[in-house]
Structure 1
Amino acid sequence: MTEQAEQSDAPPIDDNDVVALLMRQHGEIRNLFDQVETTTGEERKDAFRRLVRMLAVHETAEEEVVHPFARKAFGDAGQVVADRLEEERLAKEKLSALEDMGTEDAAFLPALLELRTDVMEHARSEERYEFAHLRRSTDPERLVTMAKAVRAAEAMAPTHPHPGVESGAKNMALGPVAAVMDRTRDAVRKAMGKDGGKA
């Protein structure tokens, strides 16, 4: 059965709910940080581009799918969600600064390691406080629907984001990270049926 799963193009069965999917993405993010840290030159640039895209897609999908649901569904989750959103905002700022810096800058690796620490602490907090609560108290069908929205966002996000295409001045100010987030946000909203019926 393992060989069949490896040969299939379908996502592993574990990805059928949003908690498993996001936890898998946390693992992918750890691996991408490893790749950026252990490579140089063009390999590092490529690994960093993939990390930027993955973080932007992942965090935006959480902001659009998981956090709003948690805030509504769990009466005591307000501060937990607020804390995660603040962590995500700070991580995006650091990620944007790293992008501006470039992978060849002498300050890049120390700044990347600081971002990694923050992102991994954030992931642990999500898994402990938000995801555990989701798993315990959310209908399995809802978890599947949320996973579909996250996968749609993942599939729609560009591999080479284009700043300024999605949200004008703000996107221009924030650069490629914001472009990926805007595109992901649009994909999530469409998958969740929040696009106002537009085709």
Structure 2
Amino acid sequence: MFERLKAAMSHMSGDLKSPAKDMMNRMRGDPTTPTEYAKAGQKVAPDVTRLLEEDHRVVMGWFDAYRFETDPSYKEAWAVRICTALVAHMQAEEEILYPAARKAFADKGLVDEAEREHDEAKELIDRIVEAGAASSEEEDLVLTLSAAIQAHVAEEESDFFPKVRQTDLDLYELGERLAARRTELLQELTATGPMPARTLH
């Protein structure tokens, strides 16, 4: 799914209006590691669960921006930004946090459920990529993705993260590793140039 999104993004057109193009390009320069936060004069990202919760707040805000946007060009910019951020977030979480939690938890079912929810979100992202820009199908899929992510966030923050905090895991070390990996993934996804205007079939 990651490679498919990356390939689609590399073939997307760049015909966004200038303000939307600026908004999308800012994503590539946002601080994403504790060191970058400090250099930018922002608070250093805390433990891995707090870092992921911050990601959740940001992407849910982007879903709201998508929902209320009326300009098709800007709407598409939000859809691309949401999908890109979610792919990087989920893959980093699956590579860094979930294996550590699986080792630390007595009940492996929590990790299994979180991974299943990620798989559902990835399927929706694949369908959004296939749907094409500014179509009614794309809008329906983005709103379905929003509902799925909201449910996942609620479960993760009310059950999964509290249990992670009760383990002996080094949450700060995990947070630093996850932030660094997420940065790598975002750079890989956006390495072909400015964030694209739309997906192509």
TM-score by length of structure 2 reads 0.70
Give the Cα–Cα distance (whole angstroms) in 2 for the partners of residues 121 and 161 of structure 1: 31
Q: Is the 8 A contact 1:44 1:103 kept in 2?
A: no
Within a 5 Å distance, the mapping from 1:38-57 to structure 2 comes to 38-39=68-69, 40-57=71-88
Within a 5 Å distance, the mapping from 1:3-18 to structure 2 comes to 9-13=40-44, 15-18=45-48
Alignment CA distance shift 1:96-1:11 (3 Å): farther
Q: Look up the equivalent residue of 1:65 and give its one-letter code.
A: I
Q: Does 1:72 align with 2:103?
A: yes
Report Cα offsets for 1:28-63 as digits up to 9, x if no partner: 110111122222322112111211111011111110
Q: Among 44, 54, 60, which residue is 1:24 paired with? A: 54
SS at structure 1 position matched to 2:103: helix
Query: Partner of 2:162 in structure 1?
Result: 132
Q: Does 1:112 align with 2:138?
A: no
Q: Is the 8 A contact 1:70 1:130 kept in 2?
A: no
Report the Cα offset of residue 161 of structure 1: 6.0
Q: Which runs of 5+ in 1 are unaligned?
A: 1-5, 163-175, 177-199
Give the Cα–Cα distance (whole angstroms) in 1 for the partners of residues 133 and 168 of structure 2: 41
Give the Cα–Cα distance (whole angstroms) in 2 for the partners of residues 22 and 10 of structure 1: 20
Q: Which has the higher contact order (CA 8 A, sep 6+)?
A: 2
Q: Is the 8 A contact 2:79 2:142 kept in 1?
A: no
Query: Partner of 2:29 in structure 1?
Result: none
Give the Cα–Cα distance (whole angstroms) in 2 for the partners of residues 106 and 131 of structure 1: 35
Q: Is the 8 A contact 2:62 2:78 kept in 1?
A: yes
Give the Cα–Cα distance (whole angstroms) in 2 for the partners of residues 10 and 146 of structure 1: 22
Q: Does 1:152 align with 2:180?
A: yes
Report the Cα offset of residue 137 of structure 1: 2.1
SS at structure 2 position matched to 1:51: helix
Write out the 4+ residue segments of structure 1 that deviate beyond 6 Å after TM superposition. Answer: none
Aligned residues: 154
Query: Partner of 2:171 in structure 1?
Result: 143
SS at structure 2 position matched to 1:104: coil
Q: Does 1:98 align with 2:128?
A: yes
SS at structure 1 position matched to 2:166: helix
Give the Cα–Cα distance (whole angstroms) in 2 for the partners of residues 82 and 41 of structure 1: 37
Give the Cα–Cα distance (whole angstroms) in 1 for the partners of residues 41 and 87 of structure 2: 23
Q: Does 1:59 align with 2:87?
A: no
Query: Partner of 1:88 in structure 2?
Result: 118
Query: Partner of 1:3 in structure 2?
Result: none
